[in-house]
Structure 1
Amino acid sequence: MKSIMRRKSLLIFAKNQIIKINIEKEVTERILWIDSDYSLCFTIDINDKKALPMKRNILSLTELLKEDRLEIMTDEPYRIYFTESELSVDQKEKRNNRWELIKGMASVEPDIYIDYKRGKLIKALIGKKTSKKKYIYQYLRLYWQRGMHLNALLADYSRCGLRGETKNLGGKKVGRPRLYKDNPGMNVTEEVKQVFLIGINRYKPSNKRTLKDCFEQIKRDFFAQGERYENGRKITIIKEDAPSLEQFRYWYNQNVDPEKRNITKKGRTRHLLEDRPVLDISDSKSRGPGWRYQIDATVADVYLVSEKNPNWIIGRPVVYIVMDVYSRMVAGMYVGLEGPSYLGALMALVNTASDKVKFCKEYGIDITEDMWPVKHFPDKLLADRGELKGPKVEQLIESFGVRMENTPPYRADWKGIVEQYFRLLNLKVKPLVPGAVTKEKLRGERNYALDAILTLTDFRKILINAIIHHNNYNWLSNYKPDDEMLKNEVPLYPVDLWNWGIKNDSGRLKFFQEDFVKLRLLPRKENVSVTEYGIHFERGLQYSCERAIKEQWFQEAALKGSWKITVAYDPRCIKYIYILNKDGSYEVCKLLGYLRQYEELQYDDFVFIRKMQKRLEEKEELKRRSEKVIDYVNEIESIKEAAEERSKEAEKISDSQKLKNIDENRKNERNEIRTQEAFILDKAKEEIKKDITQQATNEEIVKGKASKDLLKLMELQKEMGMERKINGR
């Protein structure tokens, strides 16, 4: 068997890739679909307003690439980065309406790309309503040209981002007219929806109560206008303009989760037994690479320390792994301190669509593309009900054309493939790293955390190496190859299975530009302030960018006050944050220069360091305050005692005498202070010393000869001379 390291990188064209072809004229096309044999594909010109899909041969495209007449583009021209929270209600409604019109046929591949079959599909959908035909073609074209994701259908997407308001229906009835004109019905306003919600919580449908029964109870409670008696029975009179059962049923189906509806009706046990969300989920016989990925998270059995201080133990990291079911190739990973949570899962998905050569280079690991050739999204993604549960997250993933599948509770075996990998990873990594949790700690044993020496970056490097080893050198002894694999003697290494699947059973992988994926999936932070000191991400982190400087944001903030913006950020690197512009472009904001000591940190590290600094500050402040208070009090007491002692030794005079000469005493004291505090340079001090020495000598000579009066006169002259020298004036 040939060495894996000598394997040639398999060039692939992928769904949603943009290619520029130069034959007779230059055209830029998007790949819409590739068949499972990897022999033909359909593309569309992304710049032609009347373009329709065209068939191309993969072999011909490969030849054009070799002849430098085809270029695989690395930039996405349609930069539609907006998340759901950044779109108005009106924009989402228009987009969703467009999708509802075409979704039934957009997924019928490859028939929708073939002219005569597409015509039949459209005709079957709209019947004789030919007015809809032009809109169907318009929306399909937008969907194909802009990237085959939900937001491609946004109207005037370059102006998206402004928040709207819910439509005011007014008094006129909207929707289909009632069959009987004398009872026109009513609109389902926000008030009516609130009534429906209260009613559905009060009278939940079950195996004993149908949805219709529930609706009848709601009408009696909220839409009654009186009562009457008939044959001794009380009958409730319902308002003529009450909502209809069809309106209630529509609201119920639109607003109550299908799974919850089924659990309410059947109970959780029957739901799990009879209505499992997915079947055969861990079956290795997937339909080629990218047919299904699995994602899961686990807390690693190793303790880590801070990047800044090896004495700070930061706990155990959370590992996220994305794995291709078909080949067992690890497609993406993330290691962080958050979670398990949706944020960590999104970061793992960002890594899934990233160039792995560049990613490994960031950690000082050199690989070739054939060692980790995955930078694609799958057709389906199987996730736990924790990390990626919720309509916002699911809608975000599905906006890439990825279908979400969630495992039900107590059915962890459905994610067996990725969980088996976690067990394998533990066996390979734990024996090699210090600080690893090897067994349950017994009383009196050394705490494993005390052996921790690895940082988060160190552990990421270890994990990356483990993944590369798995993808290239881990023989899958439990893998069950199909007949074609056995016939072709395919080595059961993940990378070999991936490459063989690409060549023989492809078409499921989806390619998106890395920046596009990052800006769609990276977490957002709202209410970031633009101030005179910079773009204030949070306490201790200030940023700036070219646009802010050019448009004088900070000067404006100084004059008019701060304002709020929303930014995207990568938790793995606090050096940069990103501002999304309305036209789809983005601004890169860099950490200010005086904060460069934090540039190489991850967000988790920065938060941890800040907490440790705060804790240290509080500890030291408390310690110093208590010590200083004691020293301060002792010092004051000592000064006071010395003053009291001097007062006792002084000559006793009356109170009136003390008060009599205050002004004179103040003047004398001031002169004395001036003499003591005068600024005297070093040379002047030397001269004074010489004078004092000479005068002392003269005094010794004179003392024996002069009279007492003469000695007093000399003493007086000496004092006057000293004062003149000191004052220098």
Structure 2
Amino acid sequence: MERDQLDEQEWQSALRHADVLRRMPQRPSAADVADAMAELAVSRATLFRWLKRYRVEERATALISRKPGRRAGIDAFDPTLKAIVDRNITTFYATPEKPTLTRLWKRISADCRVSELAPPSIRRLKGYLATFDTEAMTRRREGKARADAQFLALPGELSAQHPLQIVQIDHTKVDVTVVDPIERQPIGRPILTIAIDVYTRMVLGFYLSLEAPSVTSVALCLTHAIVDKTRWLQDRGISLDWPTSGLPECIHVDNGAEFHARAFKRGCDDHNIAVSYRPPGTPRFGGHVERLIGTMMGAVHMLPGTHFSNVLDKGDYDPEARAVMTMRELEAWLALEIIAYHSDLHRGIGRPPGAAWNEAISGRPPRQVREPLAFLIDFLPFEPRVLRRTGIHINNICYWSDGFAPWIGRCSDKVLVKYDPRDLHRVFVKLGENYIMVPTRNSGRPAITLWEQKAALRVQRARGRREIDEETIFQTIAAQRALVDQAIQETTQARRLRARRAHLQEIPALPASAPADEPVIALPHFPVEVWE
């Protein structure tokens, strides 16, 4: 009990009692006891009870009058009944299923009936539960995350003194279903890998993928973060500014396998980037990127095909049926959302992140990458391939360079081929100590992504083709881009067209002499993505 919680009169009385007890010798004589009893106006039993309590705690508050009732530390049940109660609390109540107090009382009552004991009242049982450690009980019933959120003290915070000193990277599943770019059918929820600067709260870069988080997604997100984004934005028809670029000093990440991959560590070491890992099972140490992800996912809930956090919010909403956006369209939408985020007031720093970034780098320009392409190659996925007389074959596409000529027939081992999943119009082949950039054998073909290539292969396999035809792959991609313009309008047109055709099937066939021209829909050309 704290000093300021006590009544002043009661506190002064406790101080007076403590002063008398303090003066009593360790082995008081009969005269000492009589004098103390007279001074305190208490019985001999009360005097010695107070003396014992004071000498145990050596504090005046030990002499404060205690409230009536059972004191902490005193068991509420006899040993046999206590064993039954404790067993049910441990094996039944303190479990993730979170049984109610009433169900616990019923189980204890049933066991007491078998043992011919009188069960405790539910009120008495509730009081006994209150003597257990609340944090430990919450941890067992509701999990570590809930217990940490309720009881864990957070005396400090992760902070930085300048831009790019600490960069946090993390992944999340986006709360929206995307459609494939060919048939506009749902293909699932993509994974977002995103990087944030702790000092300015600027989003440095991101990467969307339909694959599970990997060292590749981390590398592509990091590459997007360090390079100038002017060309990247222009390729997506965005004329706004996203000014971040430069190498980070330290990357702060969780303990995912992708962050412990040898390629990731070596790439960071090679470019003098430190890697700092959060303690296992402590997402609070990544609070900056976690809050950013929450902000982005809150915005995503405005999109068609969004997913809700619970069944009540979802209602009869069908995300797959409502989905209209392709990966590329979602990528452009997220870029615009991030640019708007940079211009809005950030409560954590008290100003817009964009303003904080521009001011900070004016006095401390970030360390830039001399060769962004070489930086990217250091982190790209790779596969060994045989160098044939026709070139390199990977992802069912053939690549050729005149630089292969001196190596044809003289390269007994497989060569290392690195590729960018966002741009398959070129690969990087290691010959000797150097990499050479190798384009597709047919230079007139457009750049395609790995996801577009896989979608084209799925279409071919669905049509029963057993052999993969490279020419058809590119024809499929070209046809796909000719059919895609604006996601919502095109999806609506496709659904209306199917509905018309289904309706026409119910109408009797026209006479042979009647004209039956089929309508033709002309769509604008979809811009080609070239990542650089």
User: Which of the numbers 569, 573, 576 marks the counterpart of 2:419?
Assistant: 569
User: Which of the numbers 296, 310, 321 marks the counterpart of 2:194?
Assistant: 321
Contact 2:200/2:349 (CA < 8 Å) preserved in 1?
no
How does 1:144-183 map onto structure 2 within 5 Å? none
Counterpart residue number, 1:702: none
User: Which of the numbers 440, 454, 468 marks the counterpart of 1:591?
Assistant: 440
Deviation of 1:430 after TM superposition, in Å, equals: 2.2
Instruction: State the superposition RMSD in angstroms.
Output: 3.0
Secondary structure in 2 matching 1:530: coil
Deviation of 1:335 after TM superposition, in Å, equals: 0.9
User: Which of the numbers 467, 477, 490 marks the counterpart of 2:347?
Assistant: 477
Deviation of 1:569 after TM superposition, in Å, equals: 0.8
Deviation of 1:280 after TM superposition, in Å, equals: 8.6
CA–CA separation in structure 2 for the residues paired with 1:402 and 1:606: 33
Counterpart residue number, 1:298: 172
CA–CA separation in structure 1 for the residues paired with 2:423 and 2:463: 25
1:383 aligns with 2:259: no
CA–CA separation in structure 2 for the residues paired with 1:435 and 1:321: 21
Instruction: After superposition, give the CA deviation of every residue in 1:657-681 in whole Å (9 maximum; x if it has no partner).
Output: xxxxxxxxxxxxxxxxxxxxxxxxx
Counterpart residue number, 1:334: 207
Counterpart residue number, 1:456: 327
Equivalent AA in structure 1 for residue 173 of structure 2: V
Counterpart residue number, 1:146: none
How does 1:20-419 map onto structure 2 within 5 Å? 282-283=157-158, 285-311=159-185, 313-367=186-240, 371-386=241-256, 387-419=258-290
Deviation of 1:315 after TM superposition, in Å, equals: 0.9
Instruction: After superposition, give the CA deviation of every residue in 1:320-357 in whole Å (9 maximum; x if it has no partner).
Output: 11110000011111111122222101110111121110
Instruction: After superposition, give the CA deviation of every residue in 1:172-230 in whole Å (9 maximum; x if it has no partner).
Output: xxxxxxxxxxxxxxxxxxxxxxxxxxxxxxxxxxxxxxxxxxxxxxxxxxxxxxxxxxx
Contact 1:430/1:438 (CA < 8 Å) preserved in 2?
yes
User: Which of the numbers 369, 379, 382 marks the counterpart of 1:521?
Assistant: 379
Deviation of 1:510 after TM superposition, in Å, equals: 5.0
Counterpart residue number, 1:435: 305
CA–CA separation in structure 1 for the residues paired with 2:320 and 2:245: 36
CA–CA separation in structure 2 for the residues paired with 1:533 and 1:281: 61
Deviation of 1:530 after TM superposition, in Å, equals: 2.4
**1:612–1:510 CA distance, 2 compared to 1 (3 A):** same
Counterpart residue number, 1:494: 353
Instruction: After superposition, give the CA deviation of every residue in 1:461-487 in whole Å (9 maximum; x if it has no partner).
Output: 11111111112x12112326xxxxxxx
Contact 1:434/1:452 (CA < 8 Å) preserved in 2?
yes
Equivalent AA in structure 1 for residue 306 of structure 2: A
Contact 2:227/2:245 (CA < 8 Å) preserved in 1?
yes
Deviation of 1:507 after TM superposition, in Å, equals: 6.5
Counterpart residue number, 1:711: none
1:580 aligns with 2:439: no
Deviation of 1:304 after TM superposition, in Å, equals: 0.9
Equivalent AA in structure 1 for residue 460 of structure 2: Q
Contact 1:290/1:379 (CA < 8 Å) preserved in 2?
yes
Query: Normalization by structure 2: what TM-score?
Result: 0.54
Counterpart residue number, 1:617: 464
User: Which of the numbers 391, 411, 422 marks the counterpart of 1:534?
Assistant: 391
Equivalent AA in structure 1 for residue 438 of structure 2: C
Contact 2:391/2:401 (CA < 8 Å) preserved in 1?
no
Deviation of 1:503 after TM superposition, in Å, equals: 3.4
CA–CA separation in structure 2 for the residues paired with 1:286 and 1:508: 14
Secondary structure in 2 matching 1:617: coil
CA–CA separation in structure 2 for the residues paired with 1:439 and 1:379: 36
Secondary structure in 2 matching 1:500: helix
Deviation of 1:594 after TM superposition, in Å, equals: 9.3
Deviation of 1:444 after TM superposition, in Å, equals: 8.6
- Share of identical aligned residues, percent? 23
CA–CA separation in structure 2 for the residues paired with 1:329 and 1:397: 21
Deviation of 1:570 after TM superposition, in Å, equals: 0.5
**1:590–1:335 CA distance, 2 compared to 1 (3 A):** same
Across the two proteins, how many residue pairs are aligned to each other? 313
**1:551–1:280 CA distance, 2 compared to 1 (3 A):** farther
Equivalent AA in structure 1 for residue 402 of structure 2: E
CA–CA separation in structure 1 for the residues paired with 2:155 and 2:247: 21
Contact 1:280/1:414 (CA < 8 Å) preserved in 2?
no
CA–CA separation in structure 2 for the residues paired with 1:572 and 1:616: 26
Deviation of 1:494 after TM superposition, in Å, equals: 0.8
Deviation of 1:545 after TM superposition, in Å, equals: 1.5
Contact 1:346/1:522 (CA < 8 Å) preserved in 2?
yes
Deviation of 1:607 after TM superposition, in Å, equals: 2.1
CA–CA separation in structure 2 for the residues paired with 1:516 and 1:569: 12
**1:561–1:519 CA distance, 2 compared to 1 (3 A):** closer
Counterpart residue number, 2:32: none
**1:326–1:342 CA distance, 2 compared to 1 (3 A):** same
**1:529–1:469 CA distance, 2 compared to 1 (3 A):** same
Contact 1:316/1:337 (CA < 8 Å) preserved in 2?
yes
**1:403–1:563 CA distance, 2 compared to 1 (3 A):** closer
Deviation of 1:452 after TM superposition, in Å, equals: 1.4
CA–CA separation in structure 2 for the residues paired with 1:392 and 1:457: 27
Unaligned runs of 5+ in 1: 1-268, 274-278, 481-491, 620-729
**1:329–1:307 CA distance, 2 compared to 1 (3 A):** same
CA–CA separation in structure 2 for the residues paired with 1:545 and 1:462: 37
Equivalent AA in structure 1 for residue 441 of structure 2: L
**1:530–1:430 CA distance, 2 compared to 1 (3 A):** same
Structure exhibiting the larger radius of gyration computed from Cα positions: 1
Deviation of 1:551 after TM superposition, in Å, equals: 4.1
CA–CA separation in structure 2 for the residues paired with 1:568 and 1:498: 34
CA–CA separation in structure 2 for the residues paired with 1:379 and 1:281: 21
Equivalent AA in structure 2 for residue 384 of structure 1: D
